[in-house]
Amino acid sequence: LDAESWPTPSIATRALSRLVNPGGAPSAEALRAAVVGQTVLVTGASYGIGEAVARRLAGAGARVLLVARSADRLEQLAGELRAGGGAAEAWPADLCDPDAVAALARSLLEANGAVDVIVNNAGKSIRRSLALSFGRPHDAERTMGVNYLGPVRLLLALLPEMCARRRGHVVNVSTIGVRIAPGPRWGAYQASKAAFDIWLRSVAPELELEGVATTSIYMALVYTRMSAPTPSLRRAPGLTPDQAAGLVARAIVTRRRTLAPWWLLPAELLSVGLRGPLALALRLAVRRSADTESARRIAQEFPR
Ligand SMILES: NC(=O)c1ccc[n+]([C@@H]2O[C@H](COP(=O)([O-])OP(=O)(O)OC[C@H]3O[C@@H](n4cnc5c(N)ncnc54)[C@H](OP(=O)(O)O)[C@@H]3O)[C@@H](O)[C@H]2O)c1
């Protein structure tokens, strides 16, 4: 299943989406004022939210540097953005590969000096039961690689220049999942997203003293190829990639420390206060749900 296979949301789902995901993109003028002439690195720019972010920022006058593994898609997107009058460059790299990340950071700094904004968006999600995960420690390794270790390596190489110039902004596309009770089958994904979220929140005060802002966006469901294979999400209220990109744009304009749906804090408090009953509810939920067809197939076709 890919992003194109999402069913068209009903009017009711769209109305519910507005309710659970209020707020939205800043005005075109505000975004242009914030990013025109700025160099913005967008990881995970070949698909989904990252691609939409790159389009939106390039349209507002930013110079976008596009990172992901799919070199062909990045080149095509960069070409399209340049043809539309924007400034865009493809910088293909695998964030799971420490040498590739080091080489990327070196070349980026040589070519551009410091970047102004880093949108840490590349990500890998896995939904797989424990039973299908036996013998698959690489699920944890690769989610940690792209969701945590790769971004940390990249930032540790790029932040010194930002700190030296005493300006810059790191925007992290996090998930509501790291702030509520962790759902079964999402362990590898949630743990790696939580690791980066905590790392960034931990270094944020030090960065602020150096003049570098951070924003953690706690994104709810977005209709992309990442979420498409999970049947339970297919009728749930969510955002289009372009709407999600609007939130990233809002983060860049406001430089707020966090952006989250209004209901996340109450849900987080309930997750802590009702930990016992929630554990029971999740046990029942596991019994009533199953691994997706693709999770089963992949576990059979690519065992370790
Ligand atoms: N979709 C949702 O419901 C949702 C909700 C909350 C948070 N998020 C977060 O939003 C972010 C974007 O997700 P999405 O929904 O847009 O997913 P997506 O459409 O699957 O895009 C993921 C992006 O990450 C890149 N990527 C994956 N592995 C990589 C690697 N090893 N090195 C470099 N780039 C890599 C992919 O490009 P290549 O395959 O070309 O490398 C792609 O551009 C993720 O961090 C995700 O955790 C998503």
Q: Whose CA is nearest to atom 34 of ligand 1?
A: 68
Active site residues: 189
Residue matched to tokens 């799919």: 70
Q: Which atom of ligand 1 is nearest to the CA of 233?
A: 3
| Closest CA to ligand 1's atom 19 | 48
For 100, the enclosing helix (H) or strand (E) is helix 98-112
Instruction: Confirm or reject: Cβ of 239 under 6 Å from ligand 1.
Output: no
Query: Ligand 1 centre from 107 Cα, in Å?
Result: 23
Residue 280 Cα to ligand 1 midpoint, Å, equals 31
User: Measured in angstroms, how far is the CA atom of residue 185 from the centroid of ligand 1?
Assistant: 18
**Other Cβ atoms closer than 10 A to 19:** 11
Looking at the CA of residue 70, tell me the nearest atom of ligand 1. 40
> Tell me, what's the pLDDT at 11?
87
The rounded distance, in Å, linking the Cα atoms of 21 and 243 is: 10
Report whether residue 173 contacts ligand 1, using a CB cutoff of 6 Å.
yes
Q: What is the pLDDT of residue 1?
A: 53
Quickly count: other Cβ atoms within 10 Å of residue 53's Cβ: 31
Cβ of 282 below 6 Å from ligand 1: no
Q: 168 - beta bridge partners?
A: 212
Q: State CA 189 to chain mean position distance.
A: 12
Round to whole Å and give the CA distance between 140 and 77. Answer: 30
120 ligand 1 Cβ < 6 A: no
Ligand 1: does its nearest atom lie under 6 Å from the Cβ of 233? no
Q: Is 96 in the pocket of ligand 1 (CB under 6 A)?
A: yes
User: What residues have CB less than 8 Å from 1, skipping those under 6 apart?
Assistant: 225, 228, 229, 294
Q: Measured between alpha carbons, how far is residue 86 from residues 55, 57, 240, 247 in Å?
A: 9, 9, 23, 21
Report the separation in Å between the CA atom of 6 and the middle of ligand 1, taken as the mean of its atom positions. 16
Question: CB–CB of 189/232 below 8 Å?
Answer: no
Q: So what's the pLDDT on residue 291?
A: 85
48-59 helix and 241-254 helix, angle to the nearest 10 degrees:
60
211 Cα to the center of ligand 1, angstroms:
28
Tens-place pLDDT, residues 84-114: 999 999 999 999 999 999 999 999 999 988 8
Quick one: pLDDT at residue 304? Answer: 57
CA distance 134 to 94: 26
How do the pLDDT tens digits run along the chain, 304 residues long?
Answer: 566 677 788 888 888 888 888 778 999 999 999 999 999 999 999 999 999 999 999 999 999 999 999 999 999 999 999 999 999 999 999 999 999 999 999 999 999 888 999 999 999 999 999 999 998 999 999 999 999 999 999 999 999 999 999 999 999 999 999 999 999 999 999 999 999 999 999 999 999 999 999 999 999 999 999 888 777 777 788 999 999 999 999 999 999 999 999 999 999 999 999 999 999 999 998 888 888 887 888 877 766 5
Strand 39-43's sheet: what is its strand order?
Answer: 87-90, 63-67, 39-43, 117-120, 168-175, 212-219, 258-259
For residue 184, the SS3 value is coil
**What is the best residue among 148, 224, 227, 240 to mutate for testing ligand 1's pocket, by most ligand atoms within 8 Å of CB?**
224
Terminal C-alpha separation, the chain: 24
> Cα(50)–Cα(68) distance, rounded to whole angstroms?
9
47 lines ligand 1 (CB under 6 A): yes
